[in-house]
Structure 1
């Protein structure tokens, strides 16, 4: 089991930078200080109210009439004119669809998505996940035989969910590497703090992604039974057929969440399991252990670290009076380490009795519709890798890159070597 960190002085919240290296590499001391000292605190750097205690995060998520999802996908860093021009030329627009939709259209659109990720479909998809995992791990073994080292993030964790999603949703005609590049660019543009020059590069990729999605939705050639076909047939509450722009917005969210964030989860699960020889040696033969390990990682270190809401009216939260329109940042990762809910939260303890109470997939009306698939993919990935690579050991370095966006965090390198 993962041991607690050595006690260190609490960080000074006046120096908190949600994009800074100190926070990105070790956010837990900062999150602990927020919960203890300022559970609802205005952050000058982002203009957001940080909500860090479990009970407050849960309250916000379960009150969609008081805390609206409208700002969930707004760009964190303002987009300059040059970027907006690129996106406009690409026809880019994302009407409210899923995560940012509080209208009457949301339940129906959500049902379309959940039909493709329900328990039966996920169970049926396990052989597909196992087959693709096996193919990718064959390549990992070849790399290890050639050089003695391999990065499990770029060769396995990042690619597996993309290929699985493409098969499950009937997507073809585009290489997985291209979808990954488009998806990652979308995360960085809208949830990162890129330089103006980098924003222009990202906008080009996001524009390509949107044009491709629009062609897929508008072409009318989607395979019957496919995800795009189901969206094209969907009727809104007024009886009108779903418009192309909203269907594209649904696809945009599902493709990004279904591949990038799941790949980030797998990378984190593998990194922690590799650091625990007992877990790695058993995970390949104990399915319950693999699933339990995934759940504990989700509680402690989920890939989706925060999510946004906006106050619909003046409201008091944890003794702080918030005005109407106040933008909130829900610290999902901090809530999973709240000692009021989880005993010894800094330890990874498989089979923790109340682990499913975590909020890493949200709760209520906007709970992640792909939660079951993400859990299953991560558990299959861990078990498959542990069986295929029983003798590898991790190679970690202090300068290993870490994804540090406002709402997404994960290792970008999981290097292993053979003894």
Structure 2
């Protein structure tokens, strides 16, 4: 009843990757991001303003999850009625990246994937008949000389954009807030110093890159660290390890937003597969920190020892982050 897996952006090579990337890039131009920024700011302000004073809340459920989910929905052009569904579809898409799934959970995830495909196919068919100013409309429209993408291709391309568009920002923001807990008075500086906020975002995603790495193939025989790597060997490029390379970053395990080379990380990858949504991710993180700093004087982590990360070799992220909110 559904479409079998088709490699999209992250696991594809030219010329197919070039074809997909060209279409997706149209939705992430500087002009598009400029249009999105005030909308992201509005949602961030609403979420931050709703935080209760002197109460313990899971800041992930209150802020870091709803913000990027809303943003990717607006970019795709999906109705708000799918907000909870989108999060569920994304969770099911990532379920197999962790520990072993029970038979019942496998069935549940496949049903979610099928439901997602059916909804997105209806949306794609609608955009072909009634184009809008959104990413789904962009993806179904081919320029002169291009072959239009089929639904069989698009359901997997859009799935990758949904997962990448919310899972990574959710995890990165939570870890940034966790690291800020060790810096007294930091929320005052975040409110008043935009350049410092930028440093916090870059250092946060360097230190806790939500995407631990990606699988790649060696294109030629080579040697790394005294180990021979034959052509066509399967490799796991650990971006998270590179981001803590002590030959590049002084005291690499320290959270230092003021380090001079704070942007020289690989959290967004590199080369033709660099994250297409890196600009949006930065906007979302900056907006969240600004809105929080405008509303709170502190977010105090309640119990560090009780924090747990999800069981995934590919995606690093907290499962929850209870904090006590100190409003201004």
Query: 2:131, 2:62 → 1: CA distance?
Result: 30
How far is the alpha carbon of 1:206 from its aligned partner? 2.2
How far is the alpha carbon of 1:233 from its aligned partner? 0.8
- 1:171-320 to 2 correspondence within 5 Å? 171-172=78-79, 174-189=81-96, 191-197=97-103, 198-219=105-126, 220-221=128-129, 223-234=131-142, 239-320=146-227
Q: 1:274 to 1:223 in 2, by over 3 A?
A: farther
The answer (yes or no) to whether the contact 1:402–1:410 under 8 Å persists in 2 is yes
How far is the alpha carbon of 1:99 from its aligned partner? 1.0
Residue 100 of structure 1 pairs with residue 14 of structure 2: no
The answer (yes or no) to whether the contact 1:304–1:332 under 8 Å persists in 2 is yes
How far is the alpha carbon of 1:317 from its aligned partner? 3.2
How far is the alpha carbon of 1:371 from its aligned partner? 0.5
Scaled by the length of structure 2, the TM-score of the pair is: 0.91
Unpaired runs of at least 5, structure 2: none
Q: 1:235 to 1:308 in 2, by over 3 A?
A: farther
Q: Who is 1:167 aligned against?
A: 74
The answer (yes or no) to whether the contact 1:285–1:387 under 8 Å persists in 2 is no
Query: 1:396, 1:288 → 2: CA distance?
Result: 30
How far is the alpha carbon of 1:294 from its aligned partner? 0.6
Query: 1:102, 1:267 → 2: CA distance?
Result: 32
The answer (yes or no) to whether the contact 1:269–1:378 under 8 Å persists in 2 is no
Q: Who is 1:347 aligned against?
A: 254
The answer (yes or no) to whether the contact 2:57–2:325 under 8 Å persists in 1 is no
Query: 1:245, 1:140 → 2: CA distance?
Result: 42
1:390 to 297, 303, 307: 297
1:140 to 51, 72, 83: 51
1:187-222 Cα shifts (integer Å, max 9, x gaps): 122x22232333232222222222222222234355
Q: 1:222 to 1:98 in 2, by over 3 A?
A: farther
How far is the alpha carbon of 1:418 from its aligned partner? 4.2
| Equivalent pairs, count | 324
The answer (yes or no) to whether the contact 2:26–2:138 under 8 Å persists in 1 is no
SS of the counterpart of 2:195?
helix
- 1:66-145 to 2 correspondence within 5 Å? 89=1, 91-141=2-52, 144=53
Query: 2:219, 2:317 → 1: CA distance?
Result: 32
Q: Who is 1:375 aligned against?
A: 282
Scaled by the length of structure 1, the TM-score of the pair is: 0.72
- 1:348-367 to 2 correspondence within 5 Å? 348-367=255-274
CA RMSD of aligned residues (A): 2.1
The answer (yes or no) to whether the contact 1:170–1:223 under 8 Å persists in 2 is no
Query: 1:248, 1:235 → 2: CA distance?
Result: 20
SS of the counterpart of 2:185?
helix
Q: Who is 1:399 aligned against?
A: 306
The answer (yes or no) to whether the contact 1:402–1:409 under 8 Å persists in 2 is yes
The answer (yes or no) to whether the contact 2:60–2:174 under 8 Å persists in 1 is yes
